[in-house]
Copies of this chain bind each other. A is one copy, B any other.
Amino acid sequence: MTSFAFHLDAVDPLTAGRAGRLQTPHGTLETPAFMPVGTLGTVKGLLPAQLRDAGAQMVLANTYHLALRPGEKIVAEHGGLHRFMDWDGPILTDSGGFQVFSLADLRKLDDDRIVFRSHIDGNLLELTPERAVQIQEDLGADCIMCLDECPPSGETPEKVRKAVDRTTRWAERCRAAQTRTDQALFGIVQGGVHPDLRRRSAEGLLAIGFPGYAVGGLSVGEPPDVMYSTLDCTVPILPAEKPRYLMGVGRPEDILEAVCRGIDMFDCVMPTRNGRNAMAFTSSGPVRMRNAVHQRDLSSLDPECPCIACTRYTRSYLRHLFVAKEMLGPILLSLHNITYYQTLVRQIRRAVIEGRLAEFRVNQLARWAGAP
């Protein structure tokens, strides 16, 4: 674990916002950081050099998907994900748990294991804490995640408590199953929207001790203010000197609000998924590229954005690509949205370093709200 270190460059005076650097065997991640999602070992439609140009420093890949296709052993034969997908920067893999709960057909869940049917071919498979670690060791990411139980949104406190305790026991087994010393294993705090259960979960994980902590089970359908207040009573329990990762979040405003509450790392499919569906994030709010209003619009999608879509093309051309169902539409808008997210976290980081995150937040929320 000597290759890992987390250093805090600055803490904002008026919010809980932090600017840091996470050192990994594949380079350093400046935080706050947004990780584009490369589910199957590719961020959909983009080459690694384009991600790099967009400002991305770290990407996420999904253990569940890669274990099904092509199988982690084939990735291992390549020397791991970095070489498989030609991304030489830091990579994080999730545990597969969230996808098993959300995508697969769950057949059995007890303390020992999760039995499920693959969403691809219906094969009966199982996931255990040990297997989640083994797959992630084969994939070879820099940061890996403990297997956690993700109860659905709106579950009873009693069931959430049971999931928390199981998640803690599984975290212990994941820790024990680790054989590689060059991967940072993160614990995942669960507990739904219940402050006492969040505390219970965090304390259980802290007793084991991890090089990083994730907050899971949010952005699963609860209103934004519930997510924010859950962060308010979860993040302060986590040690200041470790990186904090809010899983699967989210919209630009969610990222800004979560940084203000002390979160360092994010991932979300939104920039790429929305980009493929013709929705662009811009400095003045979201733009739907298929809208007829863009038909003859020769202006830039976002004059403040340095990406190819914004500097080389018109809104009219981008709309044409989507209307004509051309691949370049999803490509350019994915590239733009990733660039937008990376620009946002870079601006947030600068605001933290300069001690003006509170002011940045007010101004930025007003700009988004004032969008047409």
Contacts and interface: CB of A to CB of B under 8 A. Distances in A.
Given A40-B320, A69-B320, A331-B327, A295 B74 contact: yes
A269 to B, nearest CB: 14
Contacts of A78: 298, 314, 316-317
A320 B85 CA distance: 11
Most chain B C-beta atoms within 10 Å of own C-beta, residue among A47, A295, A328? A328
Contact of A295 (B70, B316, B324): B70
A151 interface: no
Contacts of A84: 314, 317
A44 interface: yes
Given A78-B314, A327-B331, A331-B327, A308 B70 contact: no
Given A295-B74, A317-B85, A331 B45 contact: yes
A77 B315 CA distance: 13
Contacts of A317: 41, 78, 84-85
Could you say how many copies of this chain the assembly holds? 2
Contact of A326 (B44, B48, B312, B320): B44
Contacts of A40: 320-321, 324, 326
Nearest to A313: B86
A65 B48 CA distance: 32
Given A314-B78, A324-B40, A328-B42, A47 B308 contact: yes
B296 A74 contact: yes
A64 to B, nearest CB: 13
A191 interface: no
Nearest to A68: B324
A336 B314 CA distance: 28
